[in-house]
Amino acid sequence: MSIYLDNGATSFPKAPGVGEAMLNYINNIGANVNRSTYEAASEAELVLIECRERLCTLFGTEDITHAVFTPGMTAGLNMLLKGFLRPGDHVIVSSLEHNAMMRPLTQLAAEGITDPKDILPLIRPNTRLVAIMHASNVCGTLLPVKEISDICRERGLPVILDAAQTAGHYPVNMKELGLSALCVPGHKGLLGPQG
Protein backbone atom coordinates (compact mmCIF):
# COMPACT_ATOMS: atom_id res chain seq x y z
CA MET A 1 0.00 0.00 0.00
CA SER A 2 1.37 3.42 -0.94
CA ILE A 3 0.48 6.75 0.63
CA TYR A 4 -0.05 9.74 -1.67
CA LEU A 5 0.98 13.12 -0.23
CA ASP A 6 0.96 15.39 -3.29
CA ASN A 7 -2.67 16.56 -3.39
CA GLY A 8 -1.46 20.17 -3.45
CA ALA A 9 -0.22 19.45 -6.98
CA THR A 10 -3.00 17.13 -8.14
CA SER A 11 -5.55 14.87 -6.50
CA PHE A 12 -5.19 11.11 -6.35
CA PRO A 13 -7.13 8.97 -6.60
CA LYS A 14 -9.56 10.72 -8.92
CA ALA A 15 -13.30 10.68 -8.22
CA PRO A 16 -15.10 7.43 -8.99
CA GLY A 17 -16.18 7.33 -12.62
CA VAL A 18 -13.67 9.89 -13.95
CA GLY A 19 -11.44 7.30 -15.65
CA GLU A 20 -14.42 5.43 -17.08
CA ALA A 21 -15.97 8.64 -18.44
CA MET A 22 -12.69 9.61 -20.11
CA LEU A 23 -12.29 6.15 -21.61
CA ASN A 24 -15.91 6.23 -22.86
CA TYR A 25 -15.27 9.57 -24.56
CA ILE A 26 -12.06 8.33 -26.20
CA ASN A 27 -13.54 5.00 -27.32
CA ASN A 28 -17.15 5.95 -28.13
CA ILE A 29 -17.53 9.70 -28.76
CA GLY A 30 -14.27 11.36 -29.83
CA ALA A 31 -15.98 14.40 -31.35
CA ASN A 32 -15.05 18.06 -30.87
CA VAL A 33 -17.59 20.41 -29.32
CA ASN A 34 -19.02 23.20 -31.53
CA ARG A 35 -17.51 21.78 -34.72
CA SER A 36 -20.35 19.69 -36.12
CA THR A 37 -23.94 18.64 -35.51
CA TYR A 38 -23.82 14.87 -35.93
CA GLU A 39 -24.92 12.69 -33.00
CA ALA A 40 -21.56 12.21 -31.26
CA ALA A 41 -20.69 15.93 -31.51
CA SER A 42 -24.12 16.87 -30.13
CA GLU A 43 -23.68 14.38 -27.29
CA ALA A 44 -20.28 15.88 -26.44
CA GLU A 45 -21.78 19.38 -26.44
CA LEU A 46 -24.59 18.31 -24.08
CA VAL A 47 -22.00 16.93 -21.64
CA LEU A 48 -20.10 20.24 -21.81
CA ILE A 49 -23.27 22.28 -21.21
CA GLU A 50 -24.22 20.12 -18.22
CA CYS A 51 -20.71 20.50 -16.80
CA ARG A 52 -20.89 24.29 -17.17
CA GLU A 53 -24.29 24.35 -15.45
CA ARG A 54 -22.97 22.28 -12.55
CA LEU A 55 -19.89 24.48 -12.19
CA CYS A 56 -22.04 27.62 -12.14
CA THR A 57 -24.22 26.09 -9.43
CA LEU A 58 -21.18 24.99 -7.41
CA PHE A 59 -19.44 28.37 -7.62
CA GLY A 60 -22.46 30.67 -7.30
CA THR A 61 -22.81 32.25 -10.72
CA GLU A 62 -25.50 31.97 -13.38
CA ASP A 63 -24.33 32.62 -16.92
CA ILE A 64 -22.93 29.34 -18.24
CA THR A 65 -21.26 31.14 -21.13
CA HIS A 66 -18.93 32.64 -18.53
CA ALA A 67 -17.68 29.17 -17.51
CA VAL A 68 -14.61 28.88 -19.72
CA PHE A 69 -12.47 25.77 -20.00
CA THR A 70 -8.74 26.29 -20.51
CA PRO A 71 -5.87 23.79 -20.76
CA GLY A 72 -5.12 24.50 -17.10
CA MET A 73 -5.22 26.98 -14.25
CA THR A 74 -2.09 28.84 -15.38
CA ALA A 75 -3.55 29.30 -18.87
CA GLY A 76 -6.79 30.61 -17.34
CA LEU A 77 -4.96 33.13 -15.15
CA ASN A 78 -2.82 34.23 -18.10
CA MET A 79 -5.92 34.71 -20.25
CA LEU A 80 -7.59 36.86 -17.59
CA LEU A 81 -4.57 38.93 -16.63
CA LYS A 82 -3.16 39.50 -20.10
CA GLY A 83 -6.61 40.16 -21.54
CA PHE A 84 -7.59 42.66 -18.87
CA LEU A 85 -4.38 44.48 -18.03
CA ARG A 86 -2.33 46.94 -20.08
CA PRO A 87 1.25 48.19 -19.60
CA GLY A 88 1.31 50.72 -16.78
CA ASP A 89 -1.64 49.19 -14.91
CA HIS A 90 -1.12 48.56 -11.22
CA VAL A 91 -2.19 45.30 -9.59
CA ILE A 92 -2.51 44.42 -5.91
CA VAL A 93 -1.83 40.79 -5.00
CA SER A 94 -1.44 38.87 -1.76
CA SER A 95 2.08 38.43 -0.45
CA LEU A 96 1.59 34.66 -0.74
CA GLU A 97 0.93 34.35 -4.48
CA HIS A 98 1.87 31.30 -6.51
CA ASN A 99 4.18 31.50 -9.52
CA ALA A 100 1.20 31.00 -11.88
CA MET A 101 -0.17 34.36 -10.75
CA MET A 102 3.10 36.22 -10.45
CA ARG A 103 4.70 35.29 -13.80
CA PRO A 104 2.14 37.22 -15.89
CA LEU A 105 2.42 40.16 -13.51
CA THR A 106 6.20 40.54 -13.62
CA GLN A 107 5.99 43.43 -16.09
CA LEU A 108 3.58 45.29 -13.80
CA ALA A 109 4.07 46.80 -10.37
CA ALA A 110 2.34 44.32 -8.09
CA GLU A 111 2.26 44.93 -4.35
CA GLY A 112 1.49 42.28 -1.75
CA ILE A 113 -1.05 42.23 1.08
CA THR A 114 -2.44 39.66 3.50
CA ASP A 115 -4.66 41.88 5.63
CA PRO A 116 -7.66 43.61 3.98
CA LYS A 117 -6.86 47.00 5.56
CA ASP A 118 -3.43 46.89 3.89
CA ILE A 119 -5.11 47.43 0.51
CA LEU A 120 -6.14 51.04 1.12
CA PRO A 121 -2.68 52.68 1.06
CA LEU A 122 -1.72 50.62 -2.01
CA ILE A 123 -4.57 51.79 -4.24
CA ARG A 124 -3.36 54.18 -6.92
CA PRO A 125 -5.11 55.96 -9.79
CA ASN A 126 -3.79 53.27 -12.16
CA THR A 127 -4.80 50.30 -9.97
CA ARG A 128 -6.93 48.15 -12.26
CA LEU A 129 -7.24 44.90 -10.39
CA VAL A 130 -6.80 42.91 -7.20
CA ALA A 131 -5.70 39.35 -7.95
CA ILE A 132 -5.37 37.01 -4.98
CA MET A 133 -5.22 33.37 -4.04
CA HIS A 134 -7.81 31.92 -1.72
CA ALA A 135 -5.35 29.77 0.23
CA SER A 136 -1.64 29.12 0.16
CA ASN A 137 -0.44 25.65 -0.79
CA VAL A 138 2.73 26.33 1.22
CA CYS A 139 1.50 27.51 4.62
CA GLY A 140 -2.27 26.93 4.40
CA THR A 141 -3.19 30.55 5.08
CA LEU A 142 -6.79 31.27 4.03
CA LEU A 143 -7.11 34.88 2.91
CA PRO A 144 -10.13 36.99 3.99
CA VAL A 145 -11.50 37.21 0.46
CA LYS A 146 -14.92 38.63 1.35
CA GLU A 147 -13.40 41.50 3.33
CA ILE A 148 -10.89 42.25 0.58
CA SER A 149 -13.63 42.12 -2.05
CA ASP A 150 -15.88 44.48 -0.04
CA ILE A 151 -13.11 47.10 0.07
CA CYS A 152 -12.48 46.64 -3.66
CA ARG A 153 -16.16 46.87 -4.61
CA GLU A 154 -16.45 50.22 -2.79
CA ARG A 155 -13.64 51.52 -4.99
CA GLY A 156 -14.73 49.90 -8.26
CA LEU A 157 -11.82 47.45 -8.38
CA PRO A 158 -12.45 43.98 -9.82
CA VAL A 159 -11.20 40.95 -7.88
CA ILE A 160 -9.81 37.78 -9.46
CA LEU A 161 -9.58 34.78 -7.15
CA ASP A 162 -7.18 31.85 -7.60
CA ALA A 163 -9.00 28.99 -5.87
CA ALA A 164 -6.51 26.29 -6.86
CA GLN A 165 -6.18 25.04 -3.29
CA THR A 166 -9.76 25.55 -2.09
CA ALA A 167 -12.18 24.64 -4.92
CA GLY A 168 -13.78 21.36 -3.95
CA HIS A 169 -12.51 21.59 -0.35
CA TYR A 170 -13.91 24.91 0.85
CA PRO A 171 -17.04 26.87 -0.17
CA VAL A 172 -16.32 29.30 -3.01
CA ASN A 173 -19.34 31.36 -4.07
CA MET A 174 -18.65 34.11 -6.60
CA LYS A 175 -21.69 36.21 -5.64
CA GLU A 176 -21.16 35.94 -1.90
CA LEU A 177 -17.45 36.72 -2.23
CA GLY A 178 -18.05 39.57 -4.71
CA LEU A 179 -15.69 38.18 -7.35
CA SER A 180 -15.24 39.41 -10.89
CA ALA A 181 -13.49 36.21 -11.99
CA LEU A 182 -12.60 32.86 -10.49
CA CYS A 183 -9.94 30.40 -11.63
CA VAL A 184 -10.08 26.78 -10.49
CA PRO A 185 -8.26 23.67 -11.67
CA GLY A 186 -10.34 20.60 -12.36
CA HIS A 187 -7.58 18.21 -11.28
CA LYS A 188 -7.16 19.17 -7.63
CA GLY A 189 -10.10 19.40 -5.18
CA LEU A 190 -12.64 18.73 -7.94
CA LEU A 191 -10.93 15.34 -8.47
CA GLY A 192 -10.96 15.54 -12.26
CA PRO A 193 -8.24 14.90 -14.84
CA GLN A 194 -5.35 17.24 -15.61
CA GLY A 195 -5.80 19.65 -18.51
Task: Specify the amino acid at residue 130.
Answer: V
pLDDT of residue 49: 94
Radius of gyration of the chain (CA): 18
pLDDT of residue 99: 80
Do 145 and 171 contact (CB within 8 A), yes or no?
no
The segments of the chain whose pLDDT lies below 70 read 107-111
pLDDT of residue 7: 84
pTM check: above 0.75:
yes
pLDDT of residue 109: 56
pLDDT of residue 107: 58
Q: Report the alpha-carbon distance of residue 100 to residue 71 in Å, rounded.
A: 13
Per-residue model confidence as pLDDT tens digits over 3-12: 999 988 899 9
Per-residue model confidence as pLDDT tens digits over 80-109: 998 999 888 999 998 888 888 887 777 565
